[in-house]
Structure 1
Amino acid sequence: MAGEIPDLEALERTGTGKGAARQARRDGMVPGIVFGGDTDPLPINLPFNKLLKMLRAGRFKSTLFNMKVDGHDDVRVICRDVQRDVVKDLPTHVDFMRLKRTTKINLFIGVEVDGEEVSPGLKKGGVLTLIRPEVELVVTAGDIPDHITIDVSELEIGDNVTISSVKLPEGAKPTIDRDFVIANISAPSGLRAADDEDEAETEEVDAADVPAVEQTEEA
């Protein structure tokens, strides 16, 4: 199961329609709606500043939230749409969907590394680069993993880990069809610099071995 699902606190909005929405915006709130499941849609208001901060942090629409509204049971939701002002590009309305345990959703899942202490490539001074610290997966709302684990215990310098070599949680699959790299082990910077110098010296020697072409003037 997932670790900590962030809370999203909202207020129940009294009244519907454009008038109530405009009043909410004047009060520093962003109107929204929670729909889906076996419950009637719930009009809500969200604090503008808090919502804007979360939107600017990124991945708002692919984050699972635990929505808390006074007088209602907590419910897991995911954002389905953010309407914005066409001039200021600021949020004016947000739609959330309630999730059943069997609902399939796209989420970014963190990557953890195993086997660093025994990796032959790292023992030789190689550098581990986590190209994708998170991987977007299609998962079931009721069975969201804390993380996925990659094993680097047998990796040498120059090797990498791709998504096809990772054992994913049951029911989860990548959103990207192709086999992509998650991490790799590269040569230490000193060794790379030495290799570059060797290549440069080799090129200079090869150039010196090329005989000069004599140019003759035409009569």
Structure 2
Amino acid sequence: MNITINATTRKDQGKGASRRLRHNEQIPAIIYGAGKEPDTITLNIHEITHLLENEETYTSILDLTIDKKTQPVIIKDLQRHPAKNLVTHVDFLRIDMNKEIVTNIPLHFMGEEDNEAMRLGAILNQFVTAIEVSCLPANLPNSIEVDISKLGMGDHISLTGINMPEGVTIIALTHGDIEAHDQSVVSVQEPKLMSEEAQVVDTETEEGATEGGDDKAEDTSGS
């Protein structure tokens, strides 16, 4: 899916210029990388807000059109208003389609409804929700699916257990000592037994009763 973002060249800079842009329903942005000088640009606030409602915008190669010239980019950073949650600035990274890029890709855990252990009350623990990967831009996935349907009670999936798309490499597993960096991604945990919870309640009740009895004894002796 091709996603196009329209922009115009921006010459004015500074806080005052940025406030004027936002007043006119525009926001400042910058594009850098690929061995070229950074370019300051302007985006339409409504267009970029609408595009960001689609999760794939964050992990896709975007067609950024500046004054009718189009170039491939990815979103590198976003700034938002702390109270209004409005986008206030966007950083774009230029992409060379012939060179690998490094970026974060979200994990989508699939098969929860088919997991027998979870149907019996097991708890799913997600330790990692996104992983840093390296690949050519043409191989960049929007997300990576992790099948949890077969996980039993106490089972887990680590980084090496993820089925990666062809041409996509997990950065954490390229540091030499794979075992040291092969962290758990997701696990299925046994829920607390009802009897254990009941024991806790009984203990608290007994302690409360003892405290109440001591108070009563003290009152009687003092009368």
TM-score range, shorter chain: 0.5 to 0.7
Aligned to 2:131: 136
Equivalent in 87, 91, 101 of residue 95 of structure 1: 91
Check the 8 A contact 2:105/2:144 in 1, yes or no. no
Q: 1:100 to 1:122 in 2, by over 3 A?
A: same
Aligned to 1:112: 109
CA distance in 2, matches of 1:108, 1:147: 7
Q: 1:74 to 1:8 in 2, by over 3 A?
A: same
Aligned to 1:18: 13
| Count of matched residue positions in the alignment of Structure 1 and Structure 2 | 189
Aligned to 2:70, the other structure's residue is in SS state coil
Question: Are positions 1:181 and 2:176 aligned together?
Answer: no
Which ranges of structure 1 fall in alignment gaps of 5 or more residues? 204-219
Task: Give the root-mean-square deviation of aligned CA atoms.
Answer: 4.7
Task: Give aligned-pair identity as a percent.
Answer: 17
**TM-score normalised per structure 1:** 0.58
CA distance in 2, matches of 1:175, 1:54: 30
Q: 1:134 to 1:16 in 2, by over 3 A?
A: same
CA distance in 1, matches of 2:45, 2:37: 24
Q: Deviations over 1:74-103 (max 9, x none)?
A: 523222575x89xx9987654321112323
Check the 8 A contact 1:160/1:181 in 2, yes or no. yes
Question: Are positions 1:46 and 2:43 aligned together?
Answer: yes
What code does the residue aligned with 2:139 have? D
Query: What is the CA-CA distance between 1:21 and the residue it aligns to?
Result: 4.2
Query: What is the CA-CA distance between 1:143 and the residue it aligns to?
Result: 1.2
What code does the residue aligned with 1:156 have? G
What code does the residue aligned with 1:105 have? V
Which ranges of structure 2 fall in alignment gaps of 5 or more residues? 174-179, 204-223
Check the 8 A contact 1:150/1:161 in 2, yes or no. no
CA distance in 2, matches of 1:120, 1:32: 48
Aligned to 1:142, the other structure's residue is in SS state helix
Q: Deviations over 1:4-61 (max 9, x none)?
A: 57x4633213x62438945534423222232334877554211346657888x8x9xx
Query: What is the CA-CA distance between 1:173 and the residue it aligns to?
Result: 0.8
Question: Are positions 1:29 and 2:26 aligned together?
Answer: yes
Aligned to 2:194: 193
CA distance in 2, matches of 1:24, 1:115: 46
What code does the residue aligned with 2:8 have? E
Aligned to 1:18, the other structure's residue is in SS state coil
**TM-score normalised per structure 2:** 0.57
